[in-house]
C-alpha cells in the first residue's frame, strides 16, 4: 500500500495541543497515531473523531478527563492527523477503517472501554463494538449517525435518508450537497469545514491546525473518500455494516448515553433512534448540549468532558 506521512514539523506548536505523539504499527505496514494521556491503570476512554478532523478536535476534552483520573486515548484515523495516509482513495473503505481501529485496540490491550464516538467515529467505533462487544463498558454517542437507508427511518431523521415504498431512496438535498462539495472543492481545507460546523468563530491558528495534516492534495485521499462511503442506499457496504451494528446494539445492555448538540441538523433524529433501540440507553439522563454545532468538541468541549465523566460515575459497571 502506497502512503504518505505528514512531516513532523507541521505539528509543532499547535495551539492547545501539547500532547506527545504515540504510534502503533499496523499489519499492512501503516503507522497509526494516537494521543495517550493519563494514568495507565485509569479507566480507558476512547475518543473517536470523524471526517475531516483528527485528534486535535478533542484537545479541550482530553485534559478534563485526565484530571478525573481517566486514561484517554484519541486516535487519528488512517488518512488523518499524524497517521499514515494511503494515496489511493480505494484503500479507504469502511471495513478497512474499522479493522485498523480494531488493530489499535489489540495493540494497546484496551478493555472495559468508554467509547465516545462522533461523526464517522460512530460507524467505525460502534462497528468495532458489534464485532467485539465485550471490550466496551460504556458508550457516549455524540452527533453521529448509522445510515442504512432502511424504510423504517422515514420521518425519523432531520436529514432524510430512507428507502421509499417504490424502491427509490429519499435523501436530503443538504446531505447530497455536502457530499458534492467535498468532491468539487479544488483545495481541500478541513479547517473550513470545521468552521462551518461550529457556532463559535475559530481563531486562524486553530483553523490552520486542522489543515496541518494535509499540506497538499496528495495527502487528502481519506477526507475526500469518506463522504462517498456513507450508507445512502441499502446495498452500500456502509449500510450493510451499519445494519449489523444496529442489530448488535439491540442486544447491548451496558450504559449507553446520547449527548447530541442542539445545533447540528445533520444528525438530529439519530439520538432518539439510539435511545429507543439500545437497551443500555433506557433510563439514562440523555443530554442535549446547547450552543454547539456539529463539532461540539470545539464549541463546548469542557461540557462534553463533564458529561462523559458524570455518565461513567453515575453508571458503575462491574469490570470484566
Using CA atoms, how far residue 22 sits from 45, 61, 299, in Å, is 16, 18, 26
Do 130 and 248 form a contact (C-beta atoms < 8 A)? yes
**Is residue 168 assigned to a domain?**
yes
**Is residue 85 assigned to a domain?**
yes
Q: What is the DSSP letter of 203?
A: P
112 a catalytic residue: no
Do 156 and 272 form a contact (C-beta atoms < 8 A)? yes
Do 86 and 3 form a contact (C-beta atoms < 8 A)? yes
Handedness of CA 72, 77, 80, 83 (dihedral sign): positive
State the Cα–Cα distance between residues 273 and 96, nearest whole angstrom: 26
State the Cα–Cα distance between residues 231 and 55, nearest whole angstrom: 24
pLDDT at 319: 66
pLDDT at 320: 61
Q: Model pTM?
A: 0.98
**Is residue 150 assigned to a domain?**
yes
The residue behind cell 456502509 is 238
Strands (E), 231-307: 256-261, 287-289
Do 85 and 221 form a contact (C-beta atoms < 8 A)? yes
**Is residue 319 assigned to a domain?**
no
State the Cα–Cα distance between residues 76 and 24, nearest whole angstrom: 11
Give the chain's residues under pLDDT 50.
Answer: none
At 22, which helix (H) or strand (E)? strand 22-25
**78-137 confidence digits (pLDDT tens):** 999 999 999 999 999 999 999 999 999 999 999 999 999 999 999 999 999 999 999 999
Residue among 88, 43, 65, 312 nearest 221 (CA): 88
Q: Which of 119, 150, 286, 309 is catalytic?
A: 119
Q: How many domains does one find in the chain?
A: 1
pLDDT at 131: 95
**Is residue 190 assigned to a domain?**
yes
**Is residue 320 assigned to a domain?**
no
Return the C-alpha cell found at 313: 460515575
pLDDT at 199: 98
Do 247 and 146 form a contact (C-beta atoms < 8 A)? no
Other CB atoms closer than 10 Å to residue 6's CB: what's the count?
Answer: 20
Can you give the CATH number for the domain in which 88 is found?
A: 3.40.50.1820
pLDDT at 114: 98
Q: Which of 33, 264, 286, 309 is catalytic?
A: 264
Q: What is the DSSP letter of 290?
A: T
Other CB atoms closer than 10 Å to residue 61's CB: what's the count?
Answer: 25
Q: Which of 92, 294, 299, 309 is catalytic?
A: 294
Domain that includes residue 126, residue range: 3-314
Residue among 87, 112, 31, 72 nearest 308 (CA): 72
State the Cα–Cα distance between residues 263 and 247, nearest whole angstrom: 28
Total residues found in the chain within this entry: 320
Return the C-alpha cell found at 238: 456502509
41 a catalytic residue: no
**Is residue 185 assigned to a domain?**
yes
pLDDT at 317: 85
Amino acid at each position: 500500500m502506497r502512503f504518505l506521512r505528514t512531516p513532523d514539523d507541521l505539528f509543532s506548536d499547535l495551539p492547545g495541543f501539547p500532547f506527545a505523539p504515540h504510534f502503533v504499527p499496523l499489519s499492512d505496514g501503516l503507522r497509526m497515531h494516537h494521543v495517550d494521556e493519563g494514568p495507565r491503570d485509569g479507566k480507558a476512554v476512547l475518543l473517536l473523531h470523524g471526517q475531516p478532523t483528527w485528534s486535535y478536535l478533542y484537545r479541550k476534552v482530553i485534559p478534563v478527563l485526565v484530571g478525573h483520573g481517566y486514561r484517554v486515548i484519541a486516535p487519528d484515523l488512517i488518512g488523518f492527523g499524524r497517521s499514515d495516509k494511503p494515496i489511493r482513495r480505494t484503500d479507504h473503505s469502511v471495513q478497512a477503517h474499522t479493522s485498523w481501529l480494531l488493530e489499535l485496540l489489540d495493540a494497546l490491550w484496551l478493555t472495559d472501554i468508554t467509547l465516545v464516538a462522533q461523526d464517522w467515529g460512530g460507524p467505525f467505533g460502534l462497528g468495532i463494538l458489534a464485532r467485539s462487544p465485550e471490550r466496551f463498558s460504556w458508550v457516549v454517542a455524540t452527533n453521529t449517525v448509522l445510515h442504512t437507508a432502511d424504510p423504517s427511518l422515514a420521518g425519523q431523521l432531520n436529514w432524510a435518508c430512507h428507502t421509499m415504498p417504490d424502491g427509490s431512496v429519499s435523501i436530503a438535498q443538504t446531505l447530497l450537497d455536502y457530499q458534492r462539495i467535498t468532491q468539487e472543492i479544488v483545495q481541500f481545507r478541513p479547517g473550513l469545514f470545521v468552521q462551518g460546523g461550529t457556532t463559535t468563530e475559530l481563531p486562524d491558528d486553530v483553523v490552520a491546525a486542522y489543515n496541518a495534516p494535509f499540506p497538499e492534495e496528495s495527502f487528502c485521499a481519506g477526507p475526500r473518500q469518506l463522504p462517498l462511503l456513507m450508507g445512502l442506499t441499502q446495498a452500500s457496504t456502509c449500510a450493510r455494516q451499519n445494519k449489523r451494528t444496529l442489530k448488535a446494539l439491540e442486544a447491548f445492555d451496558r450504559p449507553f448515553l446520547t449527548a447530541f448538540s442542539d445545533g447540528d441538523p445533520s444528525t438530529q433524529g439519530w439520538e432518539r433512534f439510539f435511545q429507543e433501540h439500545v437497551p443500555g440507553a433506557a433510563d439514562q439522563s440523555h443530554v442535549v448540549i446547547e450552543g454547539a454545532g456539529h463539532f461540539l468538541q470545539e464549541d463546548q468541549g469542557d461540557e462534553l468532558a463533564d458529561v462523559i465523566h458524570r455518565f461513567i460515575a453515575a453508571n458503575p459497571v462491574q469490570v470484566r
